[in-house]
Structure 1
Amino acid sequence: MATLDDAAAMALALPEVTETEQWKTWRAWAVRDKKFAWERTYTKADLKRFGDEEPPSLPVLAVRTDGLVEKEAILADPPRGVFHIPHFNGYAGVLIELSVISDVDLEAMLLDAWLAMAPKDLAEEHRKR
């Protein structure tokens, strides 16, 4: 069970990551100004689409994937806590229910998101470590 602060610490441990506020409300993390993870709340439309189903509990983290093929591979056998909503159709990203995902899976998802957005030279340097 992870918190938003746990996710922030994991993201900030990666090379050249900065934390910003998105719309002065939500936290977001970027590598060289390319956002790879951010806090995601539900819009009224999101909640309406859940209907009678209880939405995953907040806080939720959105993370980038390395394209739609990787996204579909993740969603074919997702780690516990990883999910998708219609708003993300056609977008290379998935959502994570922080109160459910394991720390190990969260760290792996953040690393993959970072690698998807990091410049090639920085990603290669990190892989060599």
Structure 2
Amino acid sequence: MASFEDVERLVAALTETEETTRHGHRTWAIAGKGYAWERPFSKADLRRFGDETPPDGPILAIRVEDLAEKEAVLAARAADGFFTIPHFDNYAAVLIELDKVSEPVLREALVDGWLVFAPPQLAKAHLDGE
């Protein structure tokens, strides 16, 4: 349903977003802090899946406000391709299978991630403009 090209287009609408590279993967940041990034599985991640088949499409990680928000997002959006892995335990971010997420849901998740680090005046201007 969505692709990294869609991610690029959607983050382009988020003021002051910069595309960088961290750990060899594209990362989108505001105020120098990454709020979304490509997140392929490492060999260790794949081992942790055991007999379970891991998602095979493109994976995007997005920051969330805190661990309570993470649990709420996972509960509300599991059917939309949102999930987590043990590597993300106690870390305020979720993973998204781009092949399963619709563009409106992806846009909302990206905006929420962007808002985690956006300077207050910039965040207010964005929210007032919606």
The structural deviation recorded for 1:29 is: 0.2
Q: Could you say which residue in structure 2 is the equivalent of 1:29? A: 28
Distance 1:38 1:101 in 2: 16
Q: Secondary structure at the match of 2:77?
A: coil
TM-score scaled to structure 2, two decimals? 0.94
Identity over the aligned pairs, expressed in percent?
Answer: 48
Q: Give the root-mean-square deviation of aligned CA atoms.
A: 1.0
Give the conservation status (yes or no) of the 8 Å contact 1:57–1:99. no
Q: Secondary structure at the match of 2:60?
A: strand
Q: Could you say which residue in structure 2 is the equivalent of 1:67? A: 66
Distance 1:29 1:74 in 2: 20
Q: Could you say which residue in structure 1 is the equivalent of 2:92? A: 92
Give the conservation status (yes or no) of the 8 Å contact 1:12–1:19. no
Distance 2:56 2:112 in 1: 23
Distance 2:124 2:13 in 1: 17
Please identify which structure carries the higher helix content.
2
Q: Could you say which residue in structure 2 is the equivalent of 1:5? A: 5
Q: Could you say which residue in structure 1 is the equivalent of 2:113? A: 113
Give the conservation status (yes or no) of the 8 Å contact 1:66–1:113. yes
The structural deviation recorded for 1:11 is: 1.1
Q: Could you say which residue in structure 2 is the equivalent of 1:125? A: 125
> 5+ residue gaps in structure 1?
none
**Residue 46 in 1 paired to residue 45 in 2?**
yes
Distance 1:73 1:100 in 2: 19
Distance 2:117 2:61 in 1: 14
Distance 1:56 1:121 in 2: 38
Distance 1:29 1:70 in 2: 20
> What residue identity is the alignment partner of 2:37?
W
The structural deviation recorded for 1:58 is: 2.8
Aligned length: 128
Q: Runs ≥4 in structure 1, deviation > 2 angstroms?
A: none
TM-score scaled to structure 1, two decimals? 0.94
